Amino acid sequence: MNSREITTQISKTADFLNLKKWDYGASFSNDYSVQVDKGEAKQLKASQKQILTIRVWNQSNLVGITTTSDISESGIKKALKQANIASDFGNKNESTEFSPLAKEPIKAREVKKRNPVGIKKLLTLLREAEVKLIESHESIKSVPYNGLSESFFERVYANSEGAFRSYSKSQAALYLYARAEEKNKKPRSSGSVKIGYGADDIDIESCIKEASNKTISHLNYSSIKTDKYLICFSPESFLTIINAFSSMFNARSIIDGVSLSNKNSIGEKLSTEALNIYDDGLHEKNISSTPFDGEGTPTKRLCLINRGRIENFIHSESTARIFKTTPTGHAGLGSKVSVSPDWIVVEKSEENFDLKTSIDHSTYEGEFVYIEELNAIHAGVRASQGSFSLPFDGWLYKNGKKISIESATVAGDIKYLLKNIVNIESSQEVTTNGISPHIWVDELSITGDA
């Protein structure tokens, strides 16, 4: 069944079961991926997936839900029946409705959909990339983590009031994670990830170069003394930390009591006035862009922090109603509708305010720690408490020299971090998770060797 036929089938079956109000979200995908090991194909993978999530409202307007991969007539009937049973346990304390924007026109955008290049070409491209990466430096002995994939998918939202949205797209991803070894030294590892609309759009050469340069730059390493340091966050690492604490802007988290913010936090000063943060799922550089969320609300650019102050929260239909505002296009369809950011864009405001603009990661000659990448986010972030303690890859810059840090963690508090931003560099960089310039923060704790 295609998405129109599924909608018709659900409508027909819902009528038969006397279910008046329903909506659904569905996704259909074909994915292909390859991994190699020293020139040989290791695992080649293909998958066809379909997933359907149906919500129904019972006569008391309580919502029930069911998810299934069985999109047959019998599967749809079973899903509707189960959702109806589940609606008896619907949340009586907080109602859910259709998004008032589910039928709002969405401005047509260019669909960047590529044709599959096929497994054989993926394999050839990855083999060549592996060889080039190993040959790029004598210390790089292997590329233990690698993969090239392409996905083709369609996403649909429809409801019993006639809303119907559908879009399809393609996406490809390449990751290369090299391992370097030198005599009497510990192995060092680093890598790079690139994504594109199709395999032919991925800049493989820059992925190889980046993985090689990063790995080599960690060959000479040293432990770091446990202390407080001036920190320069790479664009990628700063976006990681903002995403990890995005519950500060998340209305769902606020209602659930797991956010550092509260309903009255709009206008609260979090940071230097020079900091602006947006969520911009439709940004032209966002390859994973989606035109609507799980409730059918159009995706849009939203200012989260304006001149250092909280400007907006992200919402689903129900949180928006509670906050007396409109949904923002950040909902995920579920029994309890989740809310999450799309693509964070960090930028410096037009004025410098109190920033120390002379500090730049490419020219600064004083001592500082450069954090390239933060790891183990799931283990080291306490979003509800605001604290973090995270291992990282990075370098210590001292006396005009840079040396890789052997093994260390950075620890602190998100509000402290935001308040202690001392510079936001002018130049932004596009990453797979968003856009940000380099961000400088004073006095964060680093644990290395005691």
Q: What is the closest distance, in whole angstroms, from the C-beta atom of residue 315 to another protein in the complex?
A: 17
Cβ count within 10 A of residue 75: 16
Q: Does 61 bind another protein (CB under 8 A)?
A: no
Q: Does 322 bind another protein (CB under 8 A)?
A: no
Tell me the window of 141-149, 264-272, 294-302, 347-355 that interacts with another protein (CB under 8 A). Answer: 141-149
Can you tell me the distance from the alpha carbon of 358 to that of 371, in angstroms, rounded to the nearest whole number? 19
The residue from 94, 135, 138, 205 that contacts another protein (CB under 8 A) is 94
Q: Does 367 bind another protein (CB under 8 A)?
A: no
Rg (CA), the chain: 24
The residue from 166, 349, 384, 432 that contacts another protein (CB under 8 A) is 384
In order of 90, 199, 268, 435, the CA distances from 79 in angstroms are 16, 36, 44, 40
The residue from 5, 203, 367, 449 that contacts another protein (CB under 8 A) is 449
The residue from 269, 376, 402, 426 that contacts another protein (CB under 8 A) is 376
What is the residue whose two structure tokens read 């018709």?
8
Q: Does 187 bind another protein (CB under 8 A)?
A: yes
**CB-based contact 257:280 (threshold 8 Å):** no
Which lies closer to another protein via its Cβ, residue 303 or residue 322? Answer: 322
Q: Return the amino acid letter for 53.
A: T
Half-sphere exposure of 28 toward its Cβ, with a 13 Å CA cutoff?
Answer: 12
Tell me the window of 196-204, 304-312, 356-364, 372-380 that interacts with another protein (CB under 8 A). Answer: 372-380
The footprint of another protein on residues 238-297 (CB under 8 A) is 256-258
Q: Does 121 bind another protein (CB under 8 A)?
A: no
Which lies closer to another protein via its Cβ, residue 68 or residue 357? Answer: 68
**CB-based contact 318:94 (threshold 8 Å):** yes
Q: Which two tokens stand for residue 169?
A: 């797209």
Q: What is the closest distance, in whole angstroms, from the C-beta atom of residue 424 to another protein in the complex?
A: 25
Number of residues that bind another protein (CB under 8 A): 75
The footprint of another protein on residues 201-220 (CB under 8 A) is none
Can you tell me the distance from the alpha carbon of 266 to that of 262, in angstroms, rounded to the nearest whole number? 8
Q: Is 67 left (phi over 0), alpha (psi -120 to 50) or beta?
A: beta
Q: Which residues pair with 378 in a beta bridge?
A: none
Q: Which residues pair with 172 in a beta bridge?
A: 150, 196
Can you tell me the distance from the alpha carbon of 239 to that of 284, in angstroms, rounded to the nearest whole number? 18
Tell me the window of 41-49, 150-158, 285-293, 312-320 that interacts with another protein (CB under 8 A). Answer: 41-49
Which lies closer to another protein via its Cβ, residue 83 or residue 359? Answer: 83
The residue from 8, 16, 39, 89 that contacts another protein (CB under 8 A) is 89
Q: What is the closest distance, in whole angstroms, from the C-beta atom of residue 217 to another protein in the complex?
A: 15
The residue from 127, 165, 188, 283 that contacts another protein (CB under 8 A) is 188
Q: What is the closest distance, in whole angstroms, from the C-beta atom of residue 390 to another protein in the complex?
A: 8
Q: Of 29, 414, 15, nearest to 233 (Cα)?
A: 414
Residues, the chain, total? 450
Q: Does 183 bind another protein (CB under 8 A)?
A: no
The residue from 209, 389, 398, 432 that contacts another protein (CB under 8 A) is 389
Q: Which two tokens stand for residue 439?
A: 């961000």
Q: What is the closest distance, in whole angstroms, from the C-beta atom of residue 376 to another protein in the complex?
A: 4
β pairing state of 421-430 and 301-306: unpaired
